[in-house]
Structures are given as structure tokens and as C-alpha cells.
Structure 1
């Protein structure tokens, strides 16, 4: 235990939509580190709910598909209600490496920062490779545009706006409000960090792009356009709030 926080006060929030193929293996991998695993089934029409539950996760369910941002908001609020002191967000498609979790939570345990953001672009292995061989081209373009969007609107200088592997202190999780249901939530989280003057650091994380995760991800032109749409419509709605 460090900083009066034990593992029973650390919660994982895993938003999931039609992830029955991999969700049980993801839950079991995380269980080696933490028992408080909250899977938010975002209106899946497959066996995601039953697979996650049988693997040992606590599963919340949206009746209809609302989007990753909405699923995260549901999971974070529920975790806070259960006494979470640290909340880790973790993707459901098997991209993230659970062995890196300590690198995310340690700075919060030591009271060094409020938020830890994973960054694929700080990974030393990634730096030595052609980015196009590691990250799909359309996704890379979207990520670069997101960096410009973020810097322009918030002044925050980060290397990766859209990595789903993050850790929040309770203080940060209580202050950050996620109102964007879909992909614009990633930018909204950074805007909330800036608005509330929360401290943050980035740490390098490895992402495993499998054939399955690419098929589920934003490889297609349609998916890329959807992210851009969410970014800019989300920005307009935030201005109107």
C-alpha cells in the first residue's frame, strides 16, 4: 500500500461493444492485477455481457448502444460510488498490455499527479519503427489531427490524445465530466483536465494491433470520418454548454 490506497480501492473500467470474442480473456488478464473490474456493455447484440460476467467482471449494461464516451461515464460514476480512489480505463479489444498498469498507477499512488495518460508515441520501440507499420495509416492521420485540435483549443501539449489506457485519481475522476457519448470524449477529457487545472503526465504504453482489433477499430475511411465529426461537433456542443 502507498499513499493510504490499497488494491481494493483501484477500479478498472472497460467499455465494451460486441466484444464477446475477446472480452473474457481481457477480463482474466486484468484480474491478475485487480479484482475490481467494471465492464460496461454498451448495448451489445452478441454475448459480451455473459462472457464478461462469466469471466468474473461486474457488468453494467446500456440497453442501447450509446458510444464509448457514455460507457466510460457510466463506469467511472459507478466506480466512484463504490469507493474507488484510482480508476483505470482499459480497452476491451485486447490492445492494451496489463503488465504496464503499475506504470500508470504508481505516480498517482505516490501523489505525484492527478492523471496519467498512456501514449503510444512515447514507446521507444515505436520510435525506431516506421509508424505506418505499427499504426494504421488512417488512424495515424486522425491522431495527428487530434493533436492539433487539442493544442489549438486547450493549449495542452500531449503526444497522444486518443489512447484509451489512462489512470485517474479520485479527485480527477470527480472533477472530469464526460458529456460526449462517442469518440469526442477523448478530447473532452483533456479539455476537462485543462479546465480544472489538474496535473497530468504521459507514460509510454505498448499497443498490440491484431487483425481483430483493426477490424473493430477506426481503420476504415468511414470510421475516420466519424472520429473527425465527433471531434468538431463535440467542440461546438461544448462551446454551447
Structure 2
């Protein structure tokens, strides 16, 4: 894994996995914001046709590339495999490449793992009032959550949030096979099926003009619901 593995610093036991697809305009800023707190960041470039991989590498991330676009679930599993190859890894945080997530939330979630509260910490945008969201989008996402809860037995308030923190134990038990949006429900189902302990953490999702243009629209929420059910 190279020189980034140094010992002695608590942060060296954590990898941040960033699935990456066509985010060249923002991923450098995202990586730069993570590195002071999480010095080990791996971006999994999922077949981008722009300069996403080069920008992420220039910002200081490790980069693993898929030759073709496989989907976010596949990118996460590649990142998990990468992190598991580091014998010093204890925790993994999944973090979106489009600037929607808050590093402070990720730090709080990792701390809960370090304190032994759970094997997995799920981020939830519905546990406080920081996330501004249109009512229709909120309703569609809550429908997806209700379906996931009914089919997995794990009762979450937000099942499709890309900000998560997982222990090494949890990572070794989870294997993502659904490559697109249904991977989120698959992770929840495996957490429940393998009796891993979990908690939720209030997090903020920033719906910027950029993220909305990239697909964080009502249609994307409907796609999440449809792929959750079909998956």
C-alpha cells in the first residue's frame, strides 16, 4: 500500500472508499477535504470518460480503475477489497464523490465504531433537520426505506445514504453483488442476516445545483425505489 500506511496515527487504521464516476469538476475538492482527517482515501473510478481519475490522484487519493462502468455497488465492492488488503485497516467509511457529504459526520461515525458501539454506522438524513429536501423526494425515499425495512428486517430511517462507516468485521461479512442502486438494500440485508450490530447517525446531505444536475433529482429517487424493489 505504500508510504501512506504509516503507524502511530489513529487515522491510519481507516480507509475512505469513494466511488467515482464522471466527477472531475468536484472530486479534487472532496479528496482535499478528506485528507487532513482521513489520510487514506481510495477513489474507485468506475469507467469515467472524463479526467476524474487523474484529478483524484493529483489531489492525493489512491485510485483504482474499472475499465468500463459497472455501477456504484461494484465500485464499493472494489474499494472494500482494496481496504481489506491492508492488514492494518480497522474501519472503512464510504463517501460520495459529488460533495454532498460532510467530513465532520464521517468523523463522528468512525468514532462510534472506535468506541465499540456497533459494527456498522448508517448515515441518516432524516434524524435531524439539517438536510433540506423537497417533500415529494422525501416521500419517495421514505417509500424505499419502508420497502427495505420490510424485506430485510433491519429498521432504518434512511436506507439509501452513501455515507456509512463499517468495521473490518462487518466488511469481511458483506459481499455486494447488486452493482447499481439495489446495492444499498443488499448491504442492509446482509447486516441483518449476519446479525451485525448497527446504529444510525444523523448526517447532512447537501443538495447542490451540481449534485442535482448529476442525477440527485426526483427521477433518481424513483430509480432508487424501482431498483430497490427489483433488486
Q: TM-score, normalised by structure 1?
A: 0.88
Give unpaired runs (5+ residues) of structure 1. 127-133, 235-241
After superposition, the Cα gap between the structure-2 partners of 1:219 and 1:138, relative to the gap in structure 1 and judged at 3 Å, is farther
3-state SS of the aligned residue for 1:117?
strand
- CA separation of 1:124 and 1:172: change in aligned 2, threshold 3 A: same
User: For the Cα contact (< 8 Å) 2:153–2:189, is it kept in 1?
Assistant: no
In the other structure, the counterpart of 1:17 is 21
Q: Which sections of structure 2, spanning at least 5 residues, go unmatched? A: 1-7
Q: Quote the residue 1:135 is aligned against.
A: 133
For the aligned residues, what is the CA RMSD? 1.6
Please identify, of 5-14 and 22-31, the stretch whose mean Cα deviation from structure 2 is larger: 5-14
Pair 1:114-2:111 in alignment: no
Q: Measured at CA, do residues 68 and 137 of structure 1 come closer, stay the same or move farther in structure 2, by a change above 3 Å? A: farther
Give the 3-state SS of the residue equivalent to 1:122 in structure 2. Answer: coil
Give 1:33 deviation, angstroms. Answer: 0.3
- Give the whole-Å Cα distance in 1 for the aligned partners of 2:223 and 2:122: 23
Deviations 1:173-204 (A, max 9, x none): 11011111000001011000100000000010
Range 44-53 or range 98-107, more displaced: 98-107
- Residue 160 of structure 2: which of 159, 162, 169 is its match? 162
- 1:78 paired with 2:82, answer yes
Superimposed CA distance per residue, residues 47-101 of structure 1 (whole angstroms, 9 cap, x where no aligned partner): 1010000000000101111111110010011111123210000000000111222
- Relative to the length of structure 2, the TM-score reads 0.92
In structure 2, distance between residues paired with 1:149 and 1:110: 31
User: How many residues are aligned here?
Assistant: 223
What is the CA-CA distance between 1:209 and the residue it aligns to? 1.0
Q: Tell me the equivalent position of 1:37.
A: 41
Take 2:218 and 2:204, find their aligned partners in 1: how far apart are those partners? 22
For the Cα contact (< 8 Å) 2:120–2:199, is it kept in 1? yes
